[in-house]
Chain A
Amino acid sequence: MNFDAAWLMDLLDGAPGADEMTDKLTACGFLVELREEGDGGEIWDVEVTTNRPDAMNHRGLAREAALAAGATLKPFEFELDESDEPSSDLATVEIDDPTMCTRFCARVIRGVAAASSPEWMQRRLANSGVRPISAIVDVTNYVLLELGQPLHAYDLAKVGGAKLIARRAVAGESLATLDGETRKLEPGMPVIADAYDVVGLAGIMGGADSEIGDDTVDVLLEAANFDALSIRRAARKLGMHTEASHRFERGADPELPPLAIDYAAALIAEFTGGTVCRGRIDVRPRPWEPHELTTTASKVSSFMGLEIPLARLVEIAEGLDLAPRAEGDTIICSVPSYRVDLEREADLIEEFVRHVGFDVIPAKLPVLATAPGRRNPNWELVDRARSAAVNSGLAEVMTWSFIDPASDAEVESLPLCPGTAVELDNPLASTQATMRRSLLPGLLSAVRDNLNQGERSVAVFEQGRVFWLADDAPAEGERLAAALVGSAPGEHRAVDFADLKGVVEGMADELGFPPLKWRRGGGPWLDEAQGAVIETDGGRIVGCAGRVASAVTTRWEIKAPVFAAELDLAAAAREIPLPKFVELPRYPAVTADMTIEHPMDLSFAELHVAVHDLAGDLVEAIDLQNRFSGKGLPSGAVRSTLRLTYRAADRSLTQNEVNEQQEALREGLSQRLGVTFA
């Protein structure tokens, strides 16, 4: 909020210079964010926290400044001359609903002439960010900025029945407000009405029909106190935020309206040549009652970690007009009407901390048990996943948790789709309206953007959550997704399925997934020829991997083949057991190759299982050396060369032994699978 520095200083006796004053204000909780040159002095942009509506005006801030800087707040003085004509003969006020309006003051100023406010007032208004308009309007704004009381001035001639009623709106009412809009009112909204119609949105904005104009002769002035919650709800529903609503929403001083209305009336009379009618109309269903707060010096001291004498607390409380009484170790404070934030002992202690100052309190580390810190298993898991992906050479990206519903809808066909989508009620954009159920759509967008940046090789991963509804309750799961496009890193060839599978297997291994099986699938999201569903032996689907179908990549405007995979981390081990040492072999291994000719339909997995079953105990490893099809082979036939590693734990194997084993294996394979050997 902008403050006119000269105005602020003018309310104080013995104020320090501007530099010291801004430092002191910042130290007690009013950060002076910006100082800039205004008209005839500096403008200070001060951050007044939302719990301190009492300091959202010059006098309120000056009260804090006085205590913080050792200055004195000048007494508030003005003179008001009244005519003999009683206000109550000219206008009446009624509070229909005391839950929305706790006090309503009004005054009548007769015989005003159109005028401008004096130059000094215009300057102060302008420096505070308010545009000067006319003497009457300027005075209402000025009193708001000086004291914090929102006011409204009506042209008395345009107030039907010369009566103001604070009530709730009823069905079908509307109001043309001062900003030129016509607003439909919902039943229950707090309004000010005359004898016939709504003339203002209580505590928010006045109506255009009763607006002060150049032809206004008699002014009806309003200074009221409205219920914070009622104003807040109405302002939100109407999408309005005004100087008045800002203060009422946070809580205005219930004892301020009489003083503020007298001050405003005196200024209006002075600037417009009008006369103030005798007496103030003041309707208050329930008088405000002061309350007391109590704490002790020992409690404040132990809370702060600094010994504070009771006398210092009394001094601070006096500076805040809390009328303190000391009894033994106890301090009893009476809360002034404007301090709506002081409700509990904790609020009082805060005042002492604020004015003792954080800079004075000595820093002392807490003494805590010497137990080592532990990370939640979920963090351990996701960081292991991220580390596995980094170890595979992938670069991490972060994409939005909310995505385009159209992209998300396509995820339905993914084998990993967890359930019904979670839709945002109030998205920022229609393209960010659904919580993602898969990381792949976001990752595809990242791939596209990277390619568009001219990247020739993209190798990225994302670790993050997906969201869905399970029995109408939101659920979340951790995922890991990877995408490879373009040339294989550091090599002069394009990435392919095997690159992706290598990455996925490496990550799954590092993450302690149970033994996994790959079977063809994942369409239509993944290419029918190069897509796989990854599942456990028990058939639980834990991921998918493959070339993304060209129909999908086309929609993302990607021309290059994209190899992508996603893993559900729920299937990963929560803890990786410590590896167990295996005795190192003492005798050398013997390797022997076997080239098997078989139909393409026989999957490598099936071949591997058969070899594994039939090979004797001496086989330590079975590795694929080479795979060949094409020239010299019948169509549909493949030659797979396996390298078998033989080793015995207790002796060196002879070539003869190995040859016998190989022969037996060939026979077994030929019988079981009908394959031949090259």
Chain B
Amino acid sequence: MGLERLRKVRASFVADLAAAGSDPDAVEKLRVAYAGRKSGLLQDLTAALRGLPNEAKRDYGQALNELKKFVENGLKQAKDRAAASAGSSAVGRVDVTLPGRALPRGAEHPVHLVRRRIEEIFLRMGYDVESGPEIEDDWHNFEALNIPPDHPARDDQDTFYVGSNLLRTHTSPVQARVMERRQPPIRIVVPGRVYRRDSDLRHSPMFHQLEGLVVDEGITVGNLKATLETFLHSLFSDDVQVRLRPGYFPFTEPSAEVDISCIFCDMKGCGVCSGSGWIEILGSGMVDPRVFEAVGIDPERYTGFAFGLGLDRVAMLQYGIPDLRQLFAGDQRLTRQFE
């Protein structure tokens, strides 16, 4: 009988405690009601001990003590909570919806963001990242790459001249420099700034390329295809379709233009892919034996592949920047979008 009452009191205390929350007044009322000296419930329960038969007193007493401790504990925690909330509400209450104070942050140019992402993909595949001069000689920019003087391909790469030298029209001269320096196996990528004497909506006289080169024994067209697919899947997405179609570059034979399925319209045809469903993204091919001969690598023993793409163009595609020239306008608002 007595134990049953203790259980009920415990249950009602739990409920009342929850209801009181951290309101100091409610907690105080709770204390008076349960642990008050004069008329607290615990007092009543203690008084009831006397009226019990002796054999029941021991169990009841033990249970009562536990209940007292439980109530004491509960009240203490409630009081601490109430005190804590009272303390903070008094001074320094913060409107947490106010804006934070930002530390100044810098930002990288989107073309470099793209460059570093692509470098990272190739570094993981074991490629070295190479670099070379922007003012080049005719040999490395043209002749070593099977573009002799008066070759029609020179028309496609309108060149800025600096006396007997020129501003490199592509990153390919670095290929030639590396091959002159070092025998295969070679696997490199070469990012860098290049120049062509051309300026309109789609062309800038200064832009950025990334070039890749692999030379070893037994390198095949299938190797080229797999490398480009792996790279383009890493750069864009595994869902992207990759298409190689025959093209022409003087320094590779056979050459392939590489298209990806349009990432904007899912190949339904849109303005970016000119309705074709494909976006031209890379030029590539198997290194022409004449290039090997020019740089002193045995074309009977080695084969290789090369590829190149425009970093600015990838940045424009990936970030949706419509105008190439915006990249070189020095506008910090553009860069700060990429913080």
Contact = CB atoms under 8 A, between A and B. Distances in A.
B162 A395 contact: no
A395 B338 CA distance: 9
Contacts of B319: none
A229 B286 CA distance: 27
A432 interface: yes
Interface string B197-211: 101000001100000
Contacts of A250: 152
B112 A396 contact: yes
A379 B226 CA distance: 27
B103 interface: yes
* Majority secondary structure of chain A interface residues (helix, strand, loop or mixed): mixed
Interface in B18-76: none
Interface in A422-467: 422-428, 432, 435, 442-443, 445-446, 449-450, 453, 455, 458-462, 464-465, 467
Contacts of B329: 446, 449
Given A303-B286, A346-B253, A354-B254, A369 B245 contact: no
A28 B286 CA distance: 16
A446 B101 CA distance: 27
A86 interface: no
Contacts of A229: 150
Interface in A290-311: 302-306
A474 B165 contact: yes
Contacts of A28: 246
A442 B152 contact: no
Interface in B112-148: 112, 116, 119, 122-131, 133-135
B254 A395 contact: no
A571 to B, nearest CB: 19
B104 A490 contact: yes
B156 interface: yes
B225 interface: yes
A541 B108 CA distance: 28
A450 B197 contact: no
Given A50-B152, A398-B111, A467-B134, A373 B253 contact: no
A354 B222 contact: no
B330 A446 contact: yes
A664 interface: no
B221 A303 contact: yes
A347 B111 contact: no
B248 A27 contact: no
Instruction: Tell me whether chain B's interface is mostly helix, strand or loop, or mixed.
Output: mixed
Given A303-B303, A459-B104, A474-B162, A395 B152 contact: no
A584 interface: no
A373 B125 CA distance: 7
Contact of A346 (B107, B221, B245, B289): B289
A373 B123 contact: yes
Nearest to A424: B160
A395 B226 contact: no
Interface stretch (A89-97, A359-367, A522-530): A359-367
A52 B187 CA distance: 31
Contact of B218 (A302, A346, A401, A424): A302
Given A50-B153, A449-B330, A369 B126 contact: yes
A656 interface: no
A390 B245 contact: no
Interface in B194-236: 195, 197, 199, 205-206, 214, 216, 218-223, 225-227, 229-230
A339 to B, nearest CB: 14
B95 interface: no
A190 to B, nearest CB: 14
A393 B125 CA distance: 33
A626 interface: no
Nearest to A366: B223
Contact of A368 (B104, B106, B187, B336): B187
A361 B161 CA distance: 41
B313 to A, nearest CB: 15
Given A373-B127, A396-B106, A428 B116 contact: no
A353 interface: yes
Contact of A232 (B152, B162, B220): B152
A344 interface: yes
Contacts of B335: 395-397, 460
B274 interface: yes
Contacts of A369: 126, 185
B4 interface: no
Contacts of B206: 400-402
Given A249-B152, A375-B128, A395 B134 contact: no
Nearest to B116: A383
Contacts of A395: 106-107, 332, 335-336
A-B CB proximity, top 6 nearest = A446-B330, A305-B222, A29-B246, A305-B220, A393-B104, A49-B248
16 contacts: A49-B247, A232-B150, A303-B220, A346-B288, A350-B246, A353-B221, A361-B221, A363-B226, A376-B131, A390-B106, A390-B107, A393-B106, A443-B330, A459-B106, A474-B133, A474-B165
Given A232-B150, A446-B331, A458-B332, 16 more contacts: A306-B221, A353-B221, A353-B246, A366-B214, A368-B216, A370-B126, A375-B119, A390-B105, A395-B332, A396-B107, A401-B167, A422-B162, A426-B197, A445-B330, A449-B329, A476-B133
